[in-house]
Amino acid sequence: MTQIAKKAKAPNRNNAKRNLSILISILVFMIAQTGCASGQSGTTADADTVKIAYLPITHALPVLEEAKQLQEQSGLQVELVKYGSWPELMDALNTNRVDGASVLIELAMKSKEEGIGIKAVALGHHDGNVLITSQDIAAAEDLRGKTIAIPHRQSSHYILLNEALNKGGLTIEDVHVTELAPTEMPASLMSGQIDGYCVAEPFGAMGVSIGAGKVLYTSDELWEDSFCCALVLTDQFLENRPEDAKTVTEYYKTAGDSLSPESEMEIAQQYLGQSEEVLKESLQWISYHDLDITREDYETLTEKVREYGLSDNPPSYEDFVKNDF
């Protein structure tokens, strides 16, 4: 019996050793893959490449135009990394898997407040948002008790909703706020699941195009020259490749200034996959010129961030904005 028991245990020991070897191999592979993923940042993978994350929205057009201009005029290449949601994009930015991003400025401010090493170097655009509602809503007063969708609480869309409610003598407590993916909003309004939404373009224009709703307010009617998205770079990229960071920022601002109605439409059709009708409606609400982040405008933003409860301690202009290239 003893010999049989010993013989039975020998294969188990061999199996254990084999399993341990396989586990070690898997761990080594995972560590190698993690290293590759972190190495995807332009700071380690390719000295002539910078990785910029974006969502396929009209607010990212300067990044898309910049990538083309850099490729044509400079040795520095922009690798555009497309994401489907803000949380995914912010995770890549916060973990240095990309060198920068076109992102909601309030989301970036919150990450900075939480200790993430990033800085905003330029605006994404001016204005360019709309509050879309069902056809039966005629004024801000009619929003009481309605369900309004936004993409994220840390956004200018949440601020703009609050500003609209102010016009009707209402507060955020008078409506039901829900967070939805931008792509879901037009159909949700059409089906009656929500009564309105405020989100990045071209999804507002899509709601109008399919007859789901109408424009109750454009962003300039609620908050003139409002902030929304910004070009944000990681501290790692800024510190390790300062000249490339300067080049990226300068070309980005130039790209915004150089955009014309014709080039805006061309780029939007190439990257956003929307009809000309939708894009024409959408692009009338937005401007890409003069993308410097001024202290005065940033302080207006921080006041609204505090007022509407997005943050009690938003980062200061000096801590968050880099404009001294």
Cα gap 322→121, rounded to integer Å: 5
Last-in-domain residue among 196, 222, 248: 222
- What residue numbers bound the domain in which 177 lies? 129-222
Q: Is the pLDDT of residue 98 over 80?
A: yes
Whether 74 and 154 map to the same domain: the answer is no
* Residue 156, token pair as written in the block: 């200018």
CATH number of the domain within which 210 lies: 3.40.190.10
The answer on 140 and 162 residing in a single domain is yes
Question: Is 186 contained in some domain?
Answer: yes
Q: Whose CA is closest to 264, among 292, 244, 284, 234?
A: 284
Rounded to an integer, the average pLDDT of 307-324 is: 96
On the question of pLDDT at 280 being above 80, the answer is yes
Q: 142 and 116 in one domain?
A: no
Whether residue 202 is preceded by a cis peptide bond, meaning omega within 30 degrees of 0, is: yes
- CA atoms of 57 and 292, how far apart (whole Å): 20
> Does residue 180 fall inside a structural domain?
yes
The residue behind tokens 């940033």 is 298
Q: Is 59 exposed, middle or buried (0-12, 13-18, 19+ CB in 10 A)?
A: buried
In a shared domain, residues 138 and 59: no
Is 30 within the bounds of a domain? no
Looking at the fold, whether 146 and 284 belong to one and the same domain comes out as: no
Residue 26 binned pLDDT confidence (cut-offs 50, 70, 90)? very low
Q: ∠ CA 246-249-251 to the nearest 5 degrees?
A: 105
Going along the chain, which residue ranges are E strands?
A: 49-54, 77-82, 100-104, 118-123, 126-127, 129-133, 147-150, 176-179, 196-200, 214-218, 229-234, 286-287
Q: How far apart are CA 174 and CA 147, in angstroms?
A: 10
Q: Is residue 325 part of a domain?
A: no
Kindly state whether residues 90 and 70 are assigned to the same domain: yes
User: CB atoms < 10 A from the CB of 276, how many?
Assistant: 10
β-sheet bridge partners, residue 217: 131
pLDDT for 48 equals 82
Q: Quote the CA–CA distance of 19 and 65 in Å, as a whole number.
A: 52
Band the pLDDT of 69: cuts 50, 70, 90: confident
Measuring CA to CA, how many Å separate 111 from each of 86, 120, 151, 182, 238? 12, 12, 17, 22, 17
Mean pLDDT of 272-293: 94
Residue identified by tokens 């102010």 is 166
Is residue 134 located within the same domain as residue 202?
yes
* Residue 320 pLDDT greater than 70, yes or no: yes
Task: State whether 247 and 288 are in the same domain.
Answer: yes
Beta-strand runs (E) in 167-269: 176-179, 196-200, 214-218, 229-234
Average pLDDT over residues 35-40: 36
- pTM here is 0.82
* Angstrom distance (rounded) from CA 289 to CA 250: 13
Last residue of a domain, one of 180, 198, 222: 222
Is residue 6 a part of any domain in this protein?
Answer: no
Are residue 57 and residue 135 in the same domain, yes or no? Answer: no
Is the per-residue pLDDT at 68 higher than 90?
no
CB 107, CB 153: distance < 8 Å: no
Nearby residues of 244 by Cβ (< 8 Å), 6 or more positions away: 42, 50, 76, 237
**Which is more confident, 14 or 320?**
320
**How many domains would you assign to the chain?**
2
Which pLDDT score is estimated for 31? 32
Residue 23 lies in a domain: no
Q: Which two tokens stand for residue 50?
A: 């910078």
Q: What is the pLDDT of residue 211?
A: 94
Q: What is the DSSP letter of 315?
A: P
Residue 66 one-letter amino acid: E
Both 118 and 173 in one domain: the answer is: no
Examine residue 31 and state whether it is found in any structural domain, yes or no.
no
**Beta carbons of 306 and 312 less than 8 angstroms apart:** yes
Same domain, 200 and 57: no
Domain boundary among 194, 222, 250: 222
Choice between 227 and 198, residue whose per-residue pLDDT is larger: 198
Residues 119, 254 share a domain: yes
In a domain, 153, yes or no: yes
Q: What percent of the chain has pLDDT over 90?
A: 78
- In terms of Cβ atoms closer than 10 Å to its own Cβ (0-12, 13-18, 19+), residue 65 is buried
